[in-house]
Amino acid sequence: MYDKTTLDNGLRIVTANMPHTRSVTVMLYYGVGSRYEAKRLGGISHFIEHMVFKGTERRPLPQIISEAIEGVGGYLNASTGLETTNYYAKVPSKHFAMALDVLTDMLDRPLFKPDDIEKERQVIIEEINATLDSPSDLVGELHSELLWGDQPVGRPVGGTRESVGAATRDDLLGYLKSHYVPPNLVVSVAGNIQHEEVVEQVNKVFGGYPRGEQPPAFSAATQPEARSRVLLHQKDTEQANLVMGLPALSAFDPDRYKLDLLNAIIGDGMSSRLFVELRENMGIAYSVGSYTRKMSDTGEFGIYGGMDVERAKDSIVAALAEMAKIKREPVGEDELNKVKEYRKGGMVLGLEDTAGVAMWGGGQELRYGRIYSVDEVTAELDAVTTEDIMTMANRYFVGDRLALAVVGPYDNEAEFQELLKIE
């Protein structure tokens, strides 16, 4: 499905030809994110993501950049994570060359004007303030801090007001130079386009760049101490927001598909056990679900929810009861087959669109150095048994590893601490 070319300087290009479509999505994936940052530079990857939209030597104003894409009905965006940063544009196929030119121009010759840096610094600080004012967003950051402590994986991707406020232009340019190098970049393109054309266009921009030194790897995550812990953020709200989770497996763990299906059973979707029990049957939570977050060397499983402040403890107890139940009672074949089809169907539907196909190819090539096919992932999912699900639940659902963060009008951590049992 994908074609791949590696330039002499290490830059990788992957494409997926989709001749039935009338669009093309171009994504530039860089192997850099908040886990690579020293504490002093917290949020600098995200800061750079903002700044490349502010102007280039050829397109000195941000509106010139945005109008080029939006003027043909397309859209332009970017995203910074823990380990990757991507920039992407989706346009009608006939405008492929223009979209690639805009994106490569943004990353090849950004201006980083001092006035723009100061303006964008304030924009990012307002983003941080908005998160602090939003209980449902804040509780996720508090949970990461509680679970992982003072290490990059536990810090906000966007940094703090202090770290963003202190970053200098030299910091931004130095970080860009050291991390945005050809071997750390995958250009992923999907749509009605030919591989050779993409390679030719990318080579014109980046082919002459030297390989450069490989950026230093991030430090491996330190696993948290095996003890349950609670963090209450007292806030006078009508609704409680909580995240309860524990360490789990990495993106490279051969059991990751088993955990995906366990997660689907517990809390992924409106047919999941948590949603049916807590919202439909008990009526004690407005929003509830579970998630997995996989990183290169570690990961986590978590449960989130929003509910009336009077029902927070009941919701925690009910969620833990579902975790305990799946440890001791085998999942039925019908339920397991249902979530397999749910996961496979979601994967296939996500690959109907050029953006989904470009993201699949670029993200996997950057992380794994190869691209897994749908058939390969389907086979992995189909091979999971009911015994595997119980084994995974008993392996990870351990009470003394739970971390619970709650935002709401509470001040007695001991009352919440005593709830953290999976029996």
The string of pLDDT tens digits covering residues 332-379 is 999 999 999 999 999 999 999 999 999 999 999 999 999 999 999 999
Residues 299 and 267: their CA atoms lie apart, in Å, by 17
Q: Compute the mean pLDDT over every residue in the chain, rounded to the nearest whole number.
A: 97
Residue among 372, 344, 354, 31 at smallest CA distance from 186: 31
Task: Check the CA dihedral 374-375-380-383 and report its sign.
Answer: positive
pLDDT of 226:
87
* Percent residues over pLDDT 70 in the chain: 100
The pLDDT of residue 6: 98
* Superfamily classification of domain 229-417: Metalloenzyme, LuxS/M16 peptidase-like (3.30.830.10)
pLDDT score recorded for residue 225? 87
Percent of the chain with pLDDT over 90: 97
- CATH of span 2-206: 3.30.830.10
> Measured at the alpha carbon of residue 221, what is the angle toward residues 215 and 225, in degrees to the nearest 5?
165
Strand order in the sheet with 239-248: 229-234, 403-408, 239-248, 299-308, 287-294
Asked whether residue 41 carries a pLDDT value surpassing 90, the answer given is yes
Instruction: Give the pLDDT band of residue 1 (cuts 50, 70, 90).
Output: confident
Give the domain ranges of the chain: 2-206, 229-417
pLDDT tens column, 217-262: 999 999 988 899 999 999 999 999 999 999 999 999 999 999 999 9
pLDDT at 137: 97
pLDDT at 270: 96
pLDDT at 423: 83
Check residue 287 and give its pLDDT. Answer: 96
State how beta strands 229-234 and 403-408 pair. parallel
- pLDDT (tens digit per residue) in 72-83: 999 999 999 999
Residue 214: the pLDDT is 85
Tokens of 191: 């749509």
pLDDT at 389: 98
Does residue 65 have a pLDDT over 90? yes
Q: Per-residue pLDDT averaged across 121-145, rounded?
A: 97
Residues 6+ apart with CB under 8 A from 78: 49, 52, 53, 85, 86, 87, 88
- Mean pLDDT of the region 148-170: 97
Tell me the catalytic residues: 49
pLDDT at 329 over 90: yes
Do the first three CATH levels of 2-206 and 229-417 match, i.e. the same topology? yes
Reply yes or no on whether the pLDDT at 91 is more than 90.
yes
pLDDT category at 212 given cuts 50, 70, 90 is confident
